Amino acid sequence: MVTEAMPSVRSAALGFFVATGSRGEAVGEAGLSHFLEHLLFRGTDRYGSAEIDQLFDGMGAELNAGTDKESTAVYARMLDQHLPAAFDVMADMVWRPAFKDVDPEREVVLEEIAMYEDDPQDTVFDVLGEAVFGTHPLGRPIIGRAPVIRDTPVDVIAEFHARRYVPRSVVIAAAGSVDHDAIVELAAKTLGDHRALEPVEAPEPAPARPETNVRFVRKDTEQVHVTLGGLGLQRGDERRFAARVLDAIFGGLSSSRLFQAVREERGLAYSVYSFAGQYSDTGQVGLYVGTRPDNIVEAMQVVSDELERLREEPATEAELVRARENVKARVVLGMESTGARMHRLGGSLLFDLPLLETDEVMERIDAVTMDDMRSLVDELWAPDGLSAAGIGPDEDTFCSAVEKITGTVNSKAA
């Protein structure tokens, strides 16, 4: 349980953070964490699905949920006067779903999967996950696979919930116009006789880089969607502040090197950027470029040149100053949102990360040096550590275009 009062606001943000996600699924369970998230909204014995919608609409509140690789969150924002009522309903959803109307929700999720798989700009990141993590669960799509969603019996889903949604695996976080003692009382009241079972099994360790480092999905698209990347920093790594600064310099901003070189100077892409993700014992870095098939060779040459430039000169002094200021501003601006604070609190406690004050975070960002940039580039963007993934009409052209970046291409059709 963790709360943060913000005296200047009249709203509250509340979240239930569960230590379960797609990483903890066996092959035959792929997608159950995401499916279960949907089923929480289908009601409990006390509240039907339509009633939940009506209650939150009547409060003018926003209720939502999300599943990622290592966690699931159910969260809401509401006026402070409605916090007890919202807490009661959300706790019932999390602890005591009734698993009603499961088959209609199967169809909803199957439609979501179909919609997702029709969008190569989204699915290419899962193809990169396969290239970086191989058959490990971190390489699987969070959304899951249609046969699992279609065929898993209700009693198996209920047992999956019973094993994973246990008190020791759940963090409750609130921010805004909240009182800590009142939240603790609400938690004790709504938990009732729900007690912990055996702890959730630890996930299997993250893998080393797979032998197949290039993956391609052939699809008749107007663009070739390309992602390049490799292993990154784990969630608690102290260098995560420097990594955010590096990402801003390389491809995270409109003034970044990738954006300027690929889009602004040459017009080779509408969307181009770098990204990073962190997990409990590993992470991932990468970049995305969407370009027309006749531009892919030139675009990958520009990316290759920028990667070489990054290795030779990770940052100029002006870039370092600009990136540090940008990252600090994003941290501070985010802290002005009750929802952002709630997510920060919940994620920090769930994953046992220190809760740093804003000034401490800014100090660590200000402390990032040029040597930090060089060290990270050598580790994260080394040529022999990069994988590539693509979706488009021509595999041979794609493999040829990325070969200079990834080295000898050992490709596999995904």
User: Which residues are catalytically annotated?
Assistant: 37
In the structure encoding, which two tokens stand for residue 77, read together? 């924002």
- As a whole number of angstroms, the distance between CA 41 and CA 36 comes to 9
